[in-house]
Amino acid sequence: MKKAMLALLSTIILSACSPAIGSDEWCEQMKEKPKGDWTATESKDFAKHCIF
């Protein structure tokens, strides 16, 4: 049970560190990331929030 709680807590803490999709910070982070490493969802979100 302790391992499950530790895993859940770690997931919550690590997910809070990434910027929200569509935010200025997220757009800048995506601009720095190599285009070949983008997922289809990231590409769609980048076009929707950062270009249009």
Q: Where are the domains of the chain?
A: 20-52
Tens-place pLDDT, residues 4-51: 877 776 666 666 678 899 999 999 999 999 999 999 999 999 999 999
pLDDT band at residue 3, thresholds of 50, 70 and 90? Answer: confident
For residue 43, CA distances in Å to 8, 29, 39 come to: 28, 13, 6
pTM as predicted? 0.64
Rounded to whole angstroms, the Cα distance separating 19 from 21 reads 6
